[in-house]
Amino acid sequence: MKKIGIIGGLSFESTLEYYKIIARSYNKIVGGAASPNLVIDSLDLQKVTDWFVTDEWDKVLEELVLSANNLIAAKAEVIILATNTPHIVFNELEKKVSIPMISIMDATAKEIKKQNLKKVGLIGTRFTMQADYYPKAFEKYDLEIVTPSPEDQKIINKIIYKELTFHVLNKTSREKYLEVIYRLNEMGAEGVILGCTEIPLLIKQEDCKIPVFDTTYIHSMDVLNYAMKES
């Protein structure tokens, strides 16, 4: 297989999930004691989040380019950004990186298309819910995005940064998320994108009556399939 490079640490909890999904899936496919060839460059979430808040996306991009080059120096042959929000600068990042990168938006959109849906809800950090990078990426797939109300966005965002980032999983927080998902469904959403790679720690398909798209799992499997098919 091609060596996978992961830009991680944003947060480390979701990066752990990426590693487990890729490693366990690879082992299931290959068998024995096989484990995948990959390398992780883990970034400082606090530093990067501070740049989100101050709208310093040029600094975010610079940090991601440096990380990607670290992975290339470690012989990575394909790179993923193991988080949703920094994908705001994905298009610019991809242009500055000399090896293939797998977009979390494209991977998710392709999975949604398999279920013949047209309109899906998006929950994630406030940066993700308020930015246009998901809607723009989904346009070419003829998919419409709906987002929660400003009040619901505050709830979603607070739980991510105060709880999920530290692997704090509360039943009351799960119920709040499910209420937001229900309201998105009432707005016409046929499914919901878990557009923050920590959210799948809390919300599972069995919790919801509409299709749930776990971006952590989808992205992990997409890069693994690429690495194995292109080897």
The full set of domain ranges for the chain reads: 4-103+218-229, 105-214
pLDDT in tens, 140-191: 999 999 999 999 999 999 999 999 999 999 999 999 999 999 999 999 999 9
Q: Which two tokens stand for residue 208?
A: 């919801």
Q: For Cα atoms 223, 6, 133, give the angle at the middle one, nearest 5 degrees.
A: 75
What confidence tier does 70 reach under pLDDT thresholds 50, 70, 90? very high
* Distance, first Cα to last Cα, the chain: 5
What is the model's pLDDT at position 230? 59
> Is pLDDT at 211 greater than 60 in this prediction?
yes
Provide CB contacts within 8 A for 47, sequence distance 6+.
63
Among 3.40.50.10880, 3.40.50.300, 3.40.50.1980, 3.40.50.1860, name the CATH number for the domain at 4-103+218-229: 3.40.50.1860
Number of Cβ within a 10 Å radius of residue 224: 23
Distance CA 160, CA 173 (A): 10
pLDDT at residue 231, as a whole number: 53
**Would you name the residues annotated as active-site residues?**
83, 196
Distance, CA of 200 to CA of 202 (rounded, Å): 5
The residue count of the chain comes to 231
Distance (Å, whole) CA 70 – CA 224: 20
* Confidence (pTM): 0.95
Query: Vertex 13, ends 12 and 15: CA angle to 5°?
Result: 60
pLDDT category, 71, cuts 50, 70, 90?
A: very high
Q: Taking the domain 105-214, which CATH number applies?
A: 3.40.50.1860
Is 105-214 the same fold as 4-103+218-229? yes
